[in-house]
Amino acid sequence: SIIGYIRRAALGEPLIPFEQRVAEAMDRIYTQHSWTPNQRKWLERLAKQLVHEVIIDREFVNHRFADDGGAKQMNKVLGEQLDTVLEELNEAMWPERSA
């Protein structure tokens, strides 16, 4: 989002295209866990939405994937790790700047 870019620039951080942030965050998620092919498929679907929606939380997942069981189903597929994945994605996309 433009606000995110302005904030990062004000903090003196390099401006990174949002799509690149998403790709790097997803790479981190993919390598931090041993995902099954089915889990990875769901994560890839999540990543595709993230590129367009900027913010993804449990409510968004529940709405966007309602036809496939929503957040409940995604959480089940991910071995009850949906909240962890969402937190890790947020941290990977917007890491805290070191002092």
Task: Give the pLDDT confidence of 49-67 residue by residue, as tens digits.
Answer: 888 876 789 999 999 999 9
Question: For the whole model, what pTM was predicted?
Answer: 0.77
pLDDT for residue 66: 95
Every domain of the chain and the residues it spans: 18-93
What's residue 98's pLDDT? 56
Give 1's contacts (C-beta < 8 A, 6+ positions apart). Answer: 18, 54
Nearest to 26 by CA among 82, 81, 77, 88: 88
Looking at residue 5, its pLDDT comes to 60
CB-based contacts of 15-22 (< 8 A; 24+ apart in sequence): 18/51, 18/54, 19/51, 21/93, 21/94, 22/47, 22/50, 22/51, 22/93
For the chain, give the mean pLDDT: 86
68 vs 52 pLDDT, higher one:
68
